[in-house]
């Protein structure tokens, strides 16, 4: 039980990576807020956790809405008494060549990934500072926090930006025992990626099989997808690490696609 008596908020936790992190944290003893734009799916994921013997609450939260974030975090504090871990994970993908991105799409990408990370961090920090217990803030970056790929300029921009935010939070949070780190997964077969396969096949004029083999997994050491469980394991490490020795870092989990 590495998170016994901790309270965790995971955004975008109704699906994919966030859902697996929520399930893992609950298994390790945390009370988990499953925060998502999709309230029905958030409630369903929270129900799954409770059915497995854990403690969880579904929270409706659009991470780009200042009001929704502040209200959602306040509701978690009212229900569970504080916040010890924030996983800022909600994200989407839009793929186009740069010159075909509308300004609205660019702003939407930056809003979900960067504004969402800022707003959730700002709402949680006073709770972590005030509790005397510190806390852990984890941003869901990507190999695209380190590398670029064609068709993904706003995503690459936002994911690089999260590393800057984590370093800033690490500096400011240290004296309160608040740590901030970034997880940088390679391709994980979630709905976010399933959607991209046919889109990239069309844009690049290749088969879906080739998108997987020759684009997504081309530079891995073994041609394997990273799994939600791999990412959740790293999220558990960052959440449970006991000191400021591990802060301001970004860890790549990608089957060697990117090596530092």
Which residues share a beta bridge with 11?
Answer: 35
Least Cα distance to 243 among 183, 185, 182, 181 occurs for: 181
| 25 labelled catalytic | no
Residues with Cβ within 8 Å of 71's Cβ and at least 6 positions away in sequence, in order, are none
Which range in 77-85, 90-98, 166-174, 234-242 contacts ligand NAD by CB under 6 A? 90-98
Contact mark string toward ligand NAD, 140..179, x via CB under 6 A: x-x-------------------------------------
232 to 251, contacts with ligand NAD by CB under 6 A? none
Report the alpha-carbon distance of residue 150 to residue 157 in Å, rounded.
12
Which residues share a beta bridge with 145?
Answer: none
Nearer of residues 134 and 234 to ligand NAD, judged by Cβ:
234
Helices (H) and strands (E) in the chain, counts: 9, 7
- Choose which of 10, 17, 128, 166 interacts with ligand NAD (CB under 6 A): 17
Q: Is 230 in the site for ligand NAD (CB under 6 A)?
A: no
Beta strands in 6-52 (DSSP E): 7-11, 31-36
Query: What are the backbone angles phi and psi of residue 219, rounded to the nearest 5°?
Result: -100, 10
Which range in 35-43, 74-82, 122-130, 235-243 contacts ligand NAD by CB under 6 A? 35-43
CA distances from 176 to 2, 36, 125, 129, 134 (A): 21, 28, 10, 6, 5
Residues in contact with ligand NAD, total (CB under 6 A)?
A: 28
- Choose which of 128, 185, 238, 257 interacts with ligand NAD (CB under 6 A): 185
Q: Is 38 in the site for ligand NAD (CB under 6 A)?
A: yes
To ligand NAD, the closest distance from the beta carbon of 206 in angstroms equals 19
Q: Is 14 in the site for ligand NAD (CB under 6 A)?
A: yes
To ligand NAD, the closest distance from the beta carbon of 19 in angstroms equals 7
Q: Is 190 in the site for ligand NAD (CB under 6 A)?
A: yes
Least Cα distance to 223 among 210, 206, 204 occurs for: 210
Nearer of residues 21 and 30 to ligand NAD, judged by Cβ:
21
To ligand NAD, the closest distance from the beta carbon of 59 in angstroms equals 10
**Contact indicator for 114, 100 with CB cutoff of 8 Å:** no
Q: Is 210 in the site for ligand NAD (CB under 6 A)?
A: no
CA distances from 27 to 49, 52, 89, 130, 236 (A): 8, 8, 19, 26, 11
Q: Which residues bind ligand NAD (CB under 6 A)?
A: 11-12, 14-18, 36-38, 61-64, 89-92, 112, 140, 142, 185, 187-188, 190-193
Show which residues are catalytic. 155
């Amino acid at each position: 039980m590495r998170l016994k008596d901790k309270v965790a908020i995971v955004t975008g936790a109704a699906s994919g990576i966030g859902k697996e992190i929520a399930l893992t944290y609950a298994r390790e003893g945390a009370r988990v807020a499953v925060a998502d734009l999709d309230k029905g799916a958030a409630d369903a994921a929270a129900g799954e956790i409770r059915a497995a013997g854990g403690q969880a609450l579904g929270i409706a939260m659009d991470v780009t809405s200042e009001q929704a974030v502040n209200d959602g975090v306040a509701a978690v504090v009212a229900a569970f008494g504080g916040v010890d871990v924030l996983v800022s994970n909600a994200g989407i993908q839009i793929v186009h060549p740069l010159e075909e991105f509308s300004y609205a799409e660019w702003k939407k990408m930056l809003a979900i990934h960067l504004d969402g990370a800022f707003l959730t961090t700002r709402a949680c920090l006073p709770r972590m500072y005030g509790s005397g217990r510190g806390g852990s803030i984890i941003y869901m970056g990507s190999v695209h926090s380190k590398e670029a790929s064609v068709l993904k300029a706003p995503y690459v921009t936002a994911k690089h930006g999260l590393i800057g935010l984590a370093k800033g939070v690490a500096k400011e949070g240290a004296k309160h025992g608040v740590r901030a780190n970034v997880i940088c997964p390679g391709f994980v077969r979630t709905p976010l990626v399933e959607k991209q396969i046919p889109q990239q096949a069309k844009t690049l004029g290749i088969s879906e099989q080739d998108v997987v083999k020759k684009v997504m997994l081309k530079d891995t050491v073994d041609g394997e997808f990273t799994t939600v469980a791999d990412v959740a394991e790293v999220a558990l490490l960052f959440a449970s690490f006991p000191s400021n020795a591990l802060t301001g870092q970004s860890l790549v989990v990608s089957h060697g696609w990117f090596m530092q």
